[in-house]
Amino acid sequence: MFLLQASTTALFDTADLKLIAPEIILSLCACVALVMEVVLPHRLSRWTGYFALGAAALAAVSVVALGWPMLSGEGSTTLGFYGTVKVDGFAVVFKLIFLLAAALTVAVSLRYLDVEGEQRGEYYALVLFATVGMMFLASGYDLIVLYISLELMALTFYVLVGYTKRERRSNEAGMKYFLLGAFSSGILLYGMSLLFGVAKSTNLGDIGPAVAAAASTAQELGGLSLRPMVVLAMIALGAGLFFKIAAVPFHMWAPDAYEGAPTPVTAFLSTGSKAASFALLARIFLEALGGMRVDWAPLLGLVAAVTIMVGNWAAVTQTNAKRLLAYSSISNAGYLLLGVIAANEYGYVGLVVYLVVYTFMNIGAFGVIIALRRRGIAGDEVDDLTGLGQKAPGIALMMAIFMLSLGGLPVTGGFIGKWFLFGGLIQRGAAEGKSWYYWLVAWAAFNTVVSFFYYVRFIRAMYIGDREADARPLSLSAPLRTALVACAAFVILIGVYPQPFIKAAGAVAGALASGALALR
Amino acid sequence: MKIPYLLSIITWLPALGAIIILFLFRKGREGAIKRFATAWFGLDFLVSLALLSYDRGVGGFQFLEDCEWIPIIGARYQMGADGVAVLLILLTTLLGWIASLSSWEYIQKREKEYYVLLLLLQASVLGVFCAADLFLFFLFFEVSLVPMYFLIGIWGGERRLYAAIKFFLYTLVGSVGLLLGLIKMYFLTQDATLLAAVTPATKALVAGVGNDAALALLNGSLAEAAAGGTGTFNIMAMQALGSVIPMGSMQVLLFFAFAIGFAIKVPMWPFHTWLPDAHVEAPTAGSVVLAGILLKLGTYGFYRFNLPFFPKASIDQTYFWGGAFGVRNVMVVLAIISIIYGALAAMYFVVKRDGDVKKLVAYSSVSSMGIVMLGLFSLNPNGLNGAVLHMINHGIYSAALFLLVGIIYERRHTRAVDQFGGLSHVMPGYAAVFLAMAMTAIGLPLLCVFISEFLAMRGAFEANPWWAGWAALGIILNAGYMLWLYQRMFFGNIDNPKNEALRDLKGREWAYMTPLLVMSLWIGVYPKPFIDFIQKPVAAIVKHVRPDYPVTPAAPRAPQTAEKR
């Protein structure tokens, strides 16, 4: 409806362009990166990578400049483009997470692509375009915008997963990811169309009250209750989103895609793409479907419980490090869902802090695996880490930190994230007086012990025993080393002094609590 | 009070030592590294002696430190130690030095990493005893797992990988329960109505009557919790809050959430199965720290958290099965089973032809820790005094026994009982020390365990004569297997030619056995100074759990009974 109005008057208010300045910067830089690939001689392709790093930094500066009021706690939400773009604390914090993930990914990619012999500028352009998609996903407030940005992100990822075209595993992974991804996008779109049918609008702000009314069967259409329709929409949206975040039972693509994709892309897929999907999931479930929390909370609870279990127990038997981390990433999707289920301040803070920490520790872990990739050595088996504690003590120590943090040991950031996720659920259980929240949190907590079993396997391989997997030095470059050190430092920093991070995450909580309807 | 930040210094000194070794010593210089590490442990022990200035007449938490940390969740860097913690800290620093000295020859590979990990383990365990903030406590409690995992996993015996991961995961299961209970307990401190219900008398009791500094800290924490709505992790505040949480399913569930975390650490039957594996595979120093200190984290947890946080559940005898038995009965039954089962299992390893002596000592630890638990849940001054003193004593004699087993293992590379016999002929000094420690373990009068077992049993008897009766059965079994073991190893003729040329104790071995012998005799002959440290805090806890119990702090009962014997 807003768009119809738009055609009669001015197309949009030019002042709104300011709201998407970071996205514009990033899109332009991505185009420049494409041109650079054509203009620069092949041996200078790495410069495109450094350019992409600069682009991410520039975009981050612009996000912070735009969102400083939200970050510093005096939250002011701005809607633009006829309500289709919403810049609030939620969007700002998530955009920063995406840019962080993108920058770290580029940093760990530079050397890897050399080793693979695939150093081309278009790779960096694709990473930037995917980031643009993610950023619109965080600030989109309209089903159409959300869907288009989701597809922008997904399409670039289909290409990135199959990027090493001479590698058969990569091709297979790209194809699988594309087929299943397209299928799930279809389901998601179907759910969106049902929402449009109920609310007669694509704007989340209109959909929220309409769904709340329809879910409580107060509203009828031609003598028929609308409730079945919104429930069906909820299930369809849920199915599509569960695929994107790799939650059970829609997780089957993840191990294959993660194992086959180039390792930096796996890292980006498991952090940036996952964070973006969670941003979408939070927007849809908390804002569009906020009125039917009673219906979706048990559904998400069940999915989270099963996801945590399947991810952790399946990871136990894996020998390939990338595949193992894929299952770990599945289980972590389950943990992150706890924050959405809790849907209170603690839960939101947990969701965001855990996503930030997860970005650091997961890219860090994949970065170590990248350092193990040398000419002639794939380096992605757990066994390839054997004796790393003797050969490269610094790298081994950082890997140990990432693994302990993934498990959630105190003093690492993973613990702080889990603390808030579990705490949010316990608070919700006390507020609603329902015992299943307690069972869920106990189940999730118990499964962290299982997860330690396989995380510790990395540590065991690195430190225990006197054998070394091979004598060749690791393939490290300055950007990779810097990225690893930064990841480890932040994982420890968030674990020891989380105060500023919790505070920033509070911006998200504030945005969701004020934007979401009828949460309580 | 004379040294500012004393507890922080004691806690972080070993960590500093680890960093120094890590960066300033090259890998090849094993001799320098082990000398430096041992000297550093000795330095930490000397510094910790300053804790003897603990004001025994006042009680409560002393040497307080308070610093802002994560205000948004109310966690603060708060340190403080009461008399019980002071004794445990001293025990830890002493055993740390001994563990380091005993590893000079036992550890033959990757020395640098070994001493770094030993120092880190020491720092985390000391942090557990020094923390006055539950969040901080939990951090140290969890982190202590990591160095121990490496100590078992890298320098352990044949099945070290299995033992290390079993130790790690088993303890983590307990920690997870503890974590959930802790989160819930923290949320309770955000409850303004509960906070308002805490009486000034309770606050004064928790802080220690006359201990103004602790009371100020407690009031500050409570005020901050009430004002900001952020809650607090201050242990005293939570203890005070414990008196007003109504009895019901929440109190019981919270009790068991905490109890599972500590019971696995203690370990109580049926959660003990990790212990024999961990002990058998761990290097000697690992066993010393494990038995001497890490097990105390569990009983210390019960003493510090379970009893005062959940006083109504701790004393409860009617909650389950329509009033037939309660939470306290569950804990006591588990304690008694631990005592008897541990003793029987230990006896099995004497009877078995190739029984492992280390396994025997490990099971005797299960039995001993059962006595501690029984004493704690007697919930009277004698029982608690005995339990706390038994923690110290167990730290002394089990550490000594593990060291002795380690000494013979270094010489013979076996620990099977049937490999030995007539050792008193070739190693008279060793035999004498072993005898002294075996007698300590049995509870011979004039040696330390007698005092603590007597007090714990007397406390149990006051609570319920049957409990004391069952526990006495376990203690008799203890004497049985220890004497039997001694007979099989040391008496008779040397029937194994490999034992003929064994060397007696060396100077270094005497050096680390002597302090333990002295302590055993000292506590056994004159326990008053030690009981003075723990008496006030213990009386406060009894008063907190059982407000109607006739405790007269002015006329100490426990030392008198001990002296009379």
Lowest mean pLDDT among A124-128, A217-221, A478-482: A217-221
Model confidence over A306-361: pLDDT tens digits? Answer: 999 999 999 999 999 999 999 999 999 999 999 999 988 889 999 999 999 999 99
What residues in chain B have their Cβ under 8 A from chain A's Cβ atoms? 69-73, 109, 138-139, 142-143, 145-146, 149-150, 153-154, 160-161, 164-165, 168-169, 172-173, 176-177, 179-180, 183-184, 186-187
* A426–B168 C-beta distance less than 8 A: no
Query: Does the beta-carbon distance from A422 to B109 stay under 8 Å?
Result: no
Give SS3 for A29.
helix
The mean pLDDT value for B66-79 works out to: 90
The per-residue pLDDT for A111 is 87
User: Does position A516 have pLDDT exceeding 50, yes or no?
Assistant: no
Mean pLDDT taken over chain A = 89
Out of B169, B173, B183, closest to residue A422 by CB = B183
User: Least CA distance to A423: which residue of chain B?
Assistant: B183
User: CA–CA distance from A514 to each of A142, A337, B439 (Å)?
Assistant: 18, 20, 70
Amino acid (1-letter code) at residue A217: T
* Interval A79-84 mean pLDDT: 85
Q: Which of B69, B179, B187 sits opposite A427 (nearest CB)?
A: B187
Verify whether the Cβ–Cβ distance B183 to A442 is below 8 Å.
no
- The predicted model gives B418-438 an average pLDDT of 90
Angle between helices A321-342 and A274-282 (to 10 degrees): 20
Write out the two tokens for B529.
Answer: 């100074």
* A173-206 residue pLDDT tens: 999 999 999 999 999 999 999 999 988 899 998 8
In this predicted structure, what is the pLDDT of residue B352?
82
Neighboring chain A residues of B165 at a CB cutoff of 8 Å: 453, 456, 460
pLDDT digits (tens, 9 = 90+) for A470-498: 888 888 889 999 999 999 999 999 999 99
Nearest to A498 among B70, B143, B145 (CB): B70
Write the DSSP symbol of residue B447. Answer: S
Contact call for residues A75 and A507 (beta carbons, < 8 A) = yes
Q: How many whole angstroms separate alpha carbon B365 and alpha carbon B390? A: 11
Contact B184 A426 (CB under 8 A): yes
C-alpha B367, offset from chain centre: 14
Locate the domains of chain B by residue range.
346-565
Distance from C-alpha of A117 to C-alpha of B103, rounded to nearest angstrom? 51
Classify residue A77 by its DSSP letter. Answer: -
What are the start-end ranges of the H helices in B413-506?
423-426, 428-442, 448-463, 465-490
Whether the per-residue pLDDT at A280 is higher than 50: the answer is yes
Q: What is the rounded CA–CA span in Å between residue A323 and residue B208?
A: 56
Whether residue B285 has pLDDT greater than 80 = yes
Matching residue, tokens 């091709």: A171
How many angstroms separate the CA atoms of A65 and A87, rounded?
A: 12
B556 pLDDT tier (thresholds 50, 70, 90)? very low
Which residues 354-373 on chain A approach chain B with CB closer than 8 angstroms?
Answer: none
Contacts A442 to B, Cβ<8 Å: 180
Q: What is the pLDDT of residues B358-409, one digit of tens each?
A: 999 999 999 999 999 999 999 999 999 999 999 999 999 999 999 999 999 9
A467 vs A520: which has the higher pLDDT: A467
Q: Indicate the range of A241-250, B362-371, B555-564 predicted with least confidence.
A: B555-564
Burial environment of residue B451 by CB neighbours within 10 A (0 to 12, 13 to 18, 19 or more): buried
A360: its two tokens:
């650091």
CA contacts within 13 A on the Cβ side of B96:
36
pLDDT of residue A73: 67
Whole-number pLDDT of residue A177: 93
* Least trusted range by pLDDT, from A239-243, B220-224, B373-377: B220-224
What residues contact residue B321 under an 8 Å CB cut-off, 6+ apart?
Answer: none
pLDDT computed for residue B564 by the predictor: 43
Helix (H) or strand (E) holding A69: helix A46-71
Mark which residues 443-482 of A lie under 8 Å from B by CB.
445-446, 448-449, 452-453, 456, 460, 463-464, 466
Q: Which residues does chain B have within 8 Å of residue A406's beta carbon, measured at their own beta carbons?
A: none
Q: How far apart are CA B461 and CA B441, in angstroms?
A: 21
Q: Of the candidates A426, A497, A498, which has its C-beta nearest B183's C-beta?
A: A426
Q: How far is A449 from chain B (nearest CA, A)?
A: 6
Q: Is A411 in contact with B164 (Cβ distance < 8 A)?
A: no
Helices (H), A252-376: 253-260, 263-268, 274-282, 293-315, 321-342, 345-372
How many CB pairs (< 8 A) connect A and B?
74
Q: What percent of chain B has pLDDT over 70?
A: 97
The two structure tokens encoding residue B315:
């004393």
Rounded to whole angstroms, how far apart are CA atoms A127 and A100?
12
Cross-strand bridge partners of residue A140? A85
Read off the pLDDT of residues A425-461 as tens digits, 9 standing for 90 and up: 999 999 998 899 999 999 999 999 999 999 999 999 9
Residue closest to B342 by CA, chosen among B439, B477, B174, B469: B477
Using CA coordinates, name the residue in chain B closest to A464: B154
Higher per-residue confidence, B557 vs B357 = B357
**What's the average model confidence in pLDDT over B322-348?**
91
pTM of the model: 0.93
b/e sequence A342-365, b meaning 16+ C-beta within 10 Å = bbbbbbbbbbbbbbbbbbbbbbbb
**Distances from the Cα of B516 to the Cα of A8, A163, A418, B429, B513, angstroms:** 93, 66, 43, 15, 5
- The mean pLDDT of B112-139, rounded to a whole number, is 94
CB-CB under 8 Å, B138 with A422:
no
From B116, B119, B126, select the one nearest B63 (Cα to Cα). B126
Please identify among residues 374-413 of chain A the ones whose CB lies closer than 8 Å to any CB of chain B: 404, 409-411
Q: Tell me whether strands B62-70 and B75-81 are parallel, antiparallel or unpaired.
A: antiparallel
pLDDT of residue B58: 87
Residue B153's pLDDT band, with cuts at 50, 70 and 90, is: very high
Give every CB contact of residue B413 below 8 A, 6+ residues apart in sequence: none
Burial class (CB in 10 A: 0-12, 13-18, 19+), A317: exposed
> How far apart (Å, rounded) are the C-alpha atoms in residues B137 and B262?
13
pLDDT of residue B493 exceeding 90, the answer is no
What band does B433 get if pLDDT is binned at 50, 70 and 90? very high
Nearest to A348 by CA among A63, A87, A90: A90
Which string of DSSP letters, residue by residue, matches B39-50?
Answer: HHHHHHHHHHGG
Q: Percent of chain A, pLDDT > 90?
A: 64
